Amino acid sequence: MGEKAERIERHIEQQRSEVRDNMLELKQKVRRSFDWRAQVDERPLTMVGLAFGGGFLLSAFLDSLNPRPDFRRMSDDSRTNREPGHGSTWEVLRGAAIGLAATRLKELVEELIPGFQEEYRRAEASRH
């Protein structure tokens, strides 16, 4: 009976050790996933794109805080020739960059959280 109890105790201790090792490994993976330096090392172009897109998003947000156009900066031609509903080249570029940044952000989140894009599509479909 004593030998069986010792085997059980060794087995339990071995299992505890494996669980500790697995938890330590999981903690390291989570830290690495959320460490921006590690992400830059692994995906430099993606992170540059996200930084660029973030700058555009910040620009769009700050621009929305000042809704009045600064007519001192606009030439007379641009004020008179502007048709309603047509954005300037910069507005179109900004919109394209924001769309690209959002797409890349979704892809990055999908890499970190598998199944995210599927849930995102479901939520987007239910919204419409």
Which tops the pLDDT comparison, 82 or 93? 93
Q: What pLDDT is stored for residue 40 in this prediction?
A: 85
- Across the range 95-119, mean pLDDT stands at 79
Going by C-alpha positions, the residue among 119, 116, 105, 118 that lies closest to residue 39 is 105
Residue 12, pLDDT > 90, answer: yes
Which tokens is 101 given? 């940044």
Q: What pLDDT is stored for residue 19 in this prediction?
A: 94
- Other CB atoms within 10 A of residue 50 CB: 20
Max CA separation in the chain (angstroms): 98
pTM: 0.37
